[in-house]
Amino acid sequence: MSSSQTVSGEKHFNPVPIVAVMIAGAFVAILNQTLMNVALPKIMTDLDINASTGQWLTTAFMLVNGVLIPVTAFLMQRFTTRQLYITAMFLFSLGTLVCALAQGFDTLIIGRVIQAAGAGILMPLLTNTILTIFPVEKRGSAMGVIGVAMIFAPAIGPTLSGWIVQNYDWHVLFWIILPIGVIDIILSIFILKNVGERTFPKIDILSIILSTIGFGGLLYGFSTAGTPDKGWGSGEVIGSLILGGVFLLLFIWRQFASKTPMLEFRVFKYWMFTLSTIVNMIVTMAMFAAMIIVPLYLQDIRGFTPLKSGLLLLPGAILMGIMSPITGWIFDKIGPKWLAVVGLAITTITTYQFSNLTDHLSYMTLILLYSARMFGMSMLMMPIMTAGLNALPQKFNAHGTAMVNTIRQISGSIGTAILVTVMTNHTVSHAKDMLQTSGIQPKILGLISTIKNTANIPKVLAEHGVDTKTIASIGHIQSEAYIKGMNDAFVVATILSLIAFVLAFFLKKTKPVDEEGPKEEGKTAKVPAGDH
């Protein structure tokens, strides 16, 4: 990274401390979410809540986070970098404190919502700052460093969380995060500079309402569709998706009709931005196959503890953390095309290998396979995103950043819903076929078909006097069917990876289009690099 940069030709400053402070905030925000995913079962037990209630601790965070991201383009034009970042980190740290002190579900969910209000601003603000303070030829290296936060944090989260919940109270998760957030706020007060130019767009309340309901409806619908107890046929899911779709269309219409849109959809007229966004969306969907299914396989099928499962994923996480800055440096030299092609080739092959899971694969084989997949992924996310954002003129940086992060949230929810649905439905189908050909008495098969929760099958069969040998045989069939369902989900993820692989050949290195932006309503003010 360059030792000094200028903003709008004004004051010189060192970008490294600015980026370091902001990456620390993004890292801890992303880490916070992955810590919660692993700790959720323990929290549900301690708070005496069921799965559908407990799921709101992650769903509510995702919803608030998701609906805030589209608004960040407006916020970044309205407020200074320092104001926005310090406010976001304060909200995140305040929410973390509430969660750390929570003794009941109500307090914990409030803390999660406050956390999400801050976290939703951090990543778009960080990306936009990178685009502002680094020239095009150095953005790849800078974005590669961001990749450490985006990729490394969710990868080490399961290991850390598994160790904590296995040895300590789940409140410790938040007490670990809180000091980091507070220290980052203090550092940002002294180190962070205001970068770029502020415009003062008018607050469009209607756009905020349409955006919140539109994106929120879609995110809730897709995330709910991915839960086994709801599914795509649920009225709640269908209603949420229809409501979200209608309001999103109204939001898009409103943006095209406005002279100063809250979120500029005209970014899609730049072909390389559109292509990179499509590839990024597909890659995100495929990525969720390993993030969701591998932990289920390790714990539900192989019986590994959360800590042992996390340790299996750790080498891949370390590899991605090391490779992300290297990949960014390579991107600056050769562009995105061959990085994406090679990365997606590795990702496609290793994803296909995961479609051949069995109940006796060795621990080392799983580590090597997962690490190889992570190596391929390390060449993808940030270079593809950077290639698209580099194609936009400066005036669209904030809008492009908000759009990419919004679509990533939605594609993650879609990917989760599709892959979990495939896994669940195919598991049921395989189990039914295997039971029919197993020679088990029709009376027992009829009893099994009446049990909604498959986890209760052994207990219910024992209560009806079924012998232990038959129950064990049925349990083995269930396990085999579960593995087959997981393999089918990985086949879908392989197809997604293959589609992205083909599209990657059309990626190319670009520079921002030099063009005059539309006149903004209200006053335009240059913001110096120093405090404001």
Domain ranges within the chain, ordered by starting residue: 11-201, 203-261, 270-513
pLDDT, position 38? 72
Which is higher by pLDDT, 492 or 42? 492
Determine the average pLDDT of the residues in 308-320.
82
pLDDT surpassing 70 at residue 513: no
% of the chain at pLDDT higher than 90: 24
341/103 Cα distance (integer angstroms): 49
Write out the two tokens for 434: 């295997």
Residue pointed to by tokens 């995913």: 37
Which is higher by pLDDT, 245 or 519? 245
Instruction: Report the mean per-residue pLDDT for the chain.
Output: 82
pLDDT surpassing 90 at residue 203: no
pLDDT, position 12? 59
How many separate helices (H) and strands (E) can be counted in the chain? 20, 4
**What is the value of pTM for the model shown?**
0.79
Determine the average pLDDT of the residues in 208-213.
89
Give the least confident one: 14-18, 187-191, 261-265: 14-18
Q: For residue 226, give the 3-state DSSP assignment.
A: coil
CB neighbours of 459 closer than 8 A, spacing ≥ 6? Answer: none
Q: For residue 5, give the 3-state DSSP assignment.
A: strand
pLDDT surpassing 50 at residue 324: yes
pLDDT surpassing 60 at residue 531: no
Tens digit of pLDDT for each residue in 430-439? 888 888 777 7
- Please classify residue 135 by burial: count the beta carbons closer than 10 Å to its beta carbon, then call 0-12 exposed, 13-18 middle and 19+ buried: exposed
pLDDT, position 527? 40
Question: b or e along 459-480 (b: 16 or more beta carbons within 10 Å of the residue's beta carbon)?
Answer: eebeeeebeeeebeebeebbeb
In order of 169, 296, 316, the CA distances from 341 in angstroms are 44, 29, 20
pLDDT surpassing 60 at residue 471: yes
% of the chain at pLDDT higher than 70: 88
pLDDT, position 99? 94
In order of 112, 121, 301, 406, the CA distances from 72 in angstroms are 19, 6, 42, 10
Q: How far does Cα 142 stand from its chain's mean position?
A: 20
The type of residue at 255 is Q
In order of 456, 501, 505, the CA distances from 345 in angstroms are 42, 7, 11
Where does the pLDDT of residue 243 fall: very low under 50, low under 70, confident under 90, or very high at 90 and above?
very high
Asked: is 11-201 a CATH 3.20.80.10 domain? The reply is no
pLDDT, position 228? 59
pLDDT, position 236? 86
pLDDT surpassing 50 at residue 136: yes
Determine the average pLDDT of the residues in 153-168.
79
pLDDT surpassing 90 at residue 313: no
CA atoms within 13 A on the CB side of 85: 33
74/78 Cα distance (integer angstroms): 6
Spell out the CATH class of 270-513: mainly alpha
pLDDT surpassing 70 at residue 52: no
CB neighbours of 527 closer than 8 A, spacing ≥ 6? Answer: 7, 80, 81, 194, 195, 196, 197, 198
Write out the two tokens for 86: 């310090």
Judge if 11-201 and 270-513 fold alike in CATH terms: yes
